[in-house]
Chains A and B, each alone.
Chain A
Amino acid sequence: MRKVTAFLRGDRRAVAGAAVFTLIACAVLLAPVLAPHTTTWSDGGPFSPPSADHPLGTNGQGQDVLSHVLYGGRTSLGMALVVGTGTTVISVVAGLVTAFLGGVADEAISLVVNVVLTIPSLPLIIVLAAFLPPGTGTIVLVLVATGWAFGARVVRSQALTLRRRDFVAAATVAGEHRRRTIFVEIMPNMASVIAAYFCGQVVFALTAGSALEFLGLGDADQPSWGTMLFWAQNDSALLQGAWWTFVAPGLGIALTASALALVNFAIDAATNPRLRVARGAAARRPRGFRRATAVRRG
Chain B
Amino acid sequence: MVVDPRRFGRRTLLRGAGALGAAAFTASLTGCTETGAGQGAKSGAGTAPLLTVASEQGSTLARNFNPFAASSRWAARFCVYEPLMIFNHVTGALEPWLATGFTWSQENTVLTMKLRDKVTWSDGRPFTAEDVTFTFDLLKRHKGLIGYATGAVANYVEAVRAPDAGTVEFTFKKAYTPALHDIAQQLLVPRHIWSAVADPVTHTNPDPVGTGPFTLTAFRPQMYELRRRDGYWQPIAIPGLRVPTYAGNDQINSALVSGQVDWGGLVPDPDRTFVAKDRRNNHYWWPRISDIFLFVNTTKAPFDDPAVRKALSMALDRRKMVDIAVWGKSEPANAVGIARDAYPGWIDESLTSAHAGLVTRDVAAANAALDTAGLARGAGGRRTGKDGEPASFDLVVPSGWTDFVAVAQIVTQNLAEVGVTVKLRTIGFDQWTSAVYNGRFDITLGPGERGASPFGYFRAMMSSFTRRPVGETSNLNFHRLAVPEADELLERFATVSDAAEQRKIGRGLQKLFVEVFPAVPLYEQPEWGAYSSRRFTGWPDAGAPYAPLRNSPRFPTPLLVYPKLKPVA
Contact = CB atoms under 8 A, between A and B. Distances in A.
A240 B273 contact: yes
Interface residue SS majority, chain B: helix
Given A134-B399, A220-B399, A234-B400, A61 B428 contact: no
A61 B250 CA distance: 16
Given A220-B400, A236-B253, A239-B250, A46 B269 contact: yes
A219 interface: yes
Interface residues of A, number: 21
Task: From A46, A60, A134, name the one whose CB has the most chain B CB atoms within 10 angstroms.
Answer: A134
Contact of A44 (B10, B250, B273, B323): B323
Contacts of B402: 60-61, 231, 234-235
Given A233-B250, A234-B11, A236-B253, A219 B426 contact: yes
B365 interface: no
B249 A236 contact: yes
Contacts of A240: 273
Interface string B404-416: 0110010000000
A133 interface: yes
A230 B14 CA distance: 11
A236 to B, nearest CB: 5
Contacts, number: 60
Given A61-B402, A134-B399, A220-B426, A236 B250 contact: yes
A235 B400 CA distance: 11
B166 interface: no
Interface residue SS majority, chain A: loop
Contact of B428 (A42, A134, A230, A234): A134
Contacts of B405: 220-221
A134 B324 CA distance: 25
Given A40-B409, A46-B269, A235-B14, A133 B427 contact: yes
B412 to A, nearest CB: 9
Contacts of A61: 324, 402, 406
A58 B293 CA distance: 29
B205 interface: no
A216 B400 contact: yes
Task: From B254, B323, B399, name the one whose CB has the most chain A CB atoms within 10 angstroms.
Answer: B399
Nearest to B426: A221
A246 B269 CA distance: 19
A239 B254 contact: yes
Nearest to A40: B409
Contacts of B269: 46
Contacts of A220: 10, 399-400, 405, 426
A238 to B, nearest CB: 6
Contacts of B92: none
Contacts of A46: 268-269
A60 B324 CA distance: 10
Contacts of B399: 134, 219-221
Given A216-B10, A240-B273, A42 B253 contact: no
Contacts of B427: 133-134
Interface string B237-257: 000000000001110011001
B372 interface: no
Given A216-B11, A219-B426, A233-B11, A133 B254 contact: no
7 contacts: A42-B324, A61-B406, A134-B399, A216-B10, A221-B405, A234-B14, A239-B250
Given A46-B269, A61-B406, 11 more contacts: A42-B406, A61-B324, A133-B428, A133-B430, A220-B10, A220-B426, A233-B250, A234-B10, A235-B268, A236-B253, A238-B250
